[in-house]
Structure 1
């Protein structure tokens, strides 16, 4: 019997940090969904579809849920907010990179909250537990960081991000938002430089 089967069968409960950095067990999320809790993972998949989040963001989130089950036992409905915070802290410990890294994405918490795993009193995002865990910003929030004065341009950029969101991961979406948010400023700067050149020629 392979390591993945032993873990999903609750025979082994590895350290979550080890599960994050090792290549084995592979495809833990798929195997957990098949062996341990098909209904729980089906509900998470449905919540992902309803949120219009792309596979490149959702698959790591489901893997994070599987890691919690592997380390703690039980089913999806047994996961607590404390388990999620512990996993995020482990992620920061084993991957000490920028907090914007997709490795630190708390989207798995939002999925669990969306399917009613937590009590009604639980915050919808981990940001309310700790400002360090910023969570994923919406398309509107990503663009509004640049305080665009022209509302039609702002709305156009938000619509474009929404269209791209299902097909890209969060890091890519953030990069697009940065390029789009800075674009109006570059246009204004180019126009101003053009006007100055024309005035010098007169």
Structure 2
């Protein structure tokens, strides 16, 4: 079980949000974790409040299935008897994620993926990982801190984000070669963001579309 999943089960709001963002949690998982967050009072910090507001905005989207929208009425979103209606902008939420989950680097996402895939196609996985670290750590980019959850390579104007696992496994690099990257990175409709992430269970790169 991943460290992120363990933190989510403990009710850590950041981990719960990341599980939602990457599309790896079921609605039953989310309800259980939100129950835990409420029971452990793990929502007291300003950062957690911001994350909960953003998550609430996603869960109350009319595009979601009923079992997900039902979670928008969870008591954790209603600590003082007043339902949370604020849906914060992408910039604010990414600031919180960058501070507490890793770093956010602005770059052209598709060329970034293609450059890694080109090296992975030659089975040069260590080279591909080194290139990834070098591109992310180039001059002017935020410093990468040890112990981070993940890195986001973000193309803000295009509404495109690449969630880089803290350690790119060989399977993830190999899968890039067999993936239609252009289809994966296809922009969503205006006002929505596409997040490309590695699904460890299925060993596939997937895309998750959500409101900005």
TM-score by length of 2: 0.26
Q: Quick check: which has more Rg, 1 or 2?
A: 1
The higher-RCO structure (CA 8 Å, 6+ apart) is 1
Task: Report which of the two has the higher share of strand.
Answer: 2
Task: Report which of the two has the higher share of helix.
Answer: 1
